[in-house]
Amino acid sequence: MLLYGKNSIAERLKANPKTIRKIFLLKDFDDSAILHLIKKAGITVKELKKSQPAGIRDDVNNQGVIAEVDEFSYSSFDDLLDSQKENGSLIFLDRLCDPQNLGSIMRTAACLGDFGIVISKHKACPVTDTVLRVACGAENYVKMAVVSNFPTAMLEAKRSGFWIAGAVAEGGQDLRKVSFAFPLCIVLGSEEKGVRYGVDKQLDLRVTIPMAAPLSFNVGVAAAVVCYEIAKQRVESRK
């Protein structure tokens, strides 16, 4: 996989340098902090020329630095459950297809802290170079699992003590007035279809973000709003 840009590569160098295979730099690249991290990690550096290596995209602003890294490492669902059931929460993304939204949600999860992510194996976007570019280093701080059957995984989460809430465009309880129970899973649906029938049967609670206009947020923004409220209430529940 390839990482593009200073922020993504700086975070990888700080948090997980062993996954970096090599780094390509423009000849005049002069970011002293990144150069120091590269030297400290002892990573192979190659000059980035106009005739770029195969696979490197020309339509991305790479800021003069690109890293070739290991494939993204997913956690098992059981391990993710164990790691989150005491102090964290899980974000279930039901057949999310847009890599921009997945990267954005990874970044939200990392910034707020104590969130793990579960994605669908089928008809959904995996972690790609584009996802990592949007995530801006968040992949180093968020665990993610892939499951084949969402209802089965949600039932397993319930057996582990999790409550299941779903974010719906309309018809749910006002997010501003909901009191969440913890540990908690929040389910967000695809960009067009929302939470699927069958998956929604496992929900203990439905929440809706109130809108001043007859519009709606995309799933990336909705995730940020809902997860912020979850994180706030989670902190309050520990007091």
CATH number, residue 104 = 3.40.1280.10
The CATH number of the domain where 62 resides is what?
3.30.1330.30
Please indicate, yes or no, whether residues 37 and 110 belong to a single structural domain of this protein.
no
pLDDT tens-digit readout, 203-223 = 999 999 999 999 889 999 999
> Are 214 and 133 in the same domain?
yes
pLDDT of residue 52: 62
User: Are 40 and 85 found together in one domain?
Assistant: no
pLDDT for 55 equals 64
Asked if 215 and 113 sit in the same domain, the reply is yes
> Same domain, yes or no, for 17 and 126?
no
Domain assignment of residue 111, given as a range: 77-237
Which residue, 50, 69, 88, sits at the end of a domain? 69
Whole-model pTM?
A: 0.94
CA atoms lying within 13 Å on the CB side of residue 55: 12
Domain boundary among 69, 86, 101: 69
Do residues 36 and 90 share a domain? no
pLDDT of residue 88: 92
At 74 the pLDDT is 98
Model pLDDT, residue 53: 57
Residues 17 and 90 in one domain: no
In angstroms, how far is CA 35 from the centroid of its own chain? 27
Q: Can you tell me the distance from the alpha carbon of 13 to that of 3, in angstroms, rounded to the nearest whole number?
A: 11
Write down the pLDDT at residue 186. Answer: 98
Q: How far is the C-alpha of 193 from the C-alpha of 96, rounded, in Å?
A: 10
Domains held by the chain: number: 2
Residues 50 and 20 both lie in one domain: yes
Q: Are 122 and 152 in contact (CB under 8 A)?
A: no
b (16+ CB within 10 A) / e for 53-67: eeeeeeeeebbbbbb
Are residues 38 and 134 located together in one domain of the fold? no
State the Cα–Cα distance between residues 65 and 54, nearest whole angstrom: 15
Same domain as 117, residue 223: yes
The whole-number mean pLDDT for each consecutive block of 10 residues of the chain, a chain of 239 residues, reads 94 97 92 96 87 65 92 97 92 95 97 97 94 96 96 96 94 96 94 81 95 92 98 91
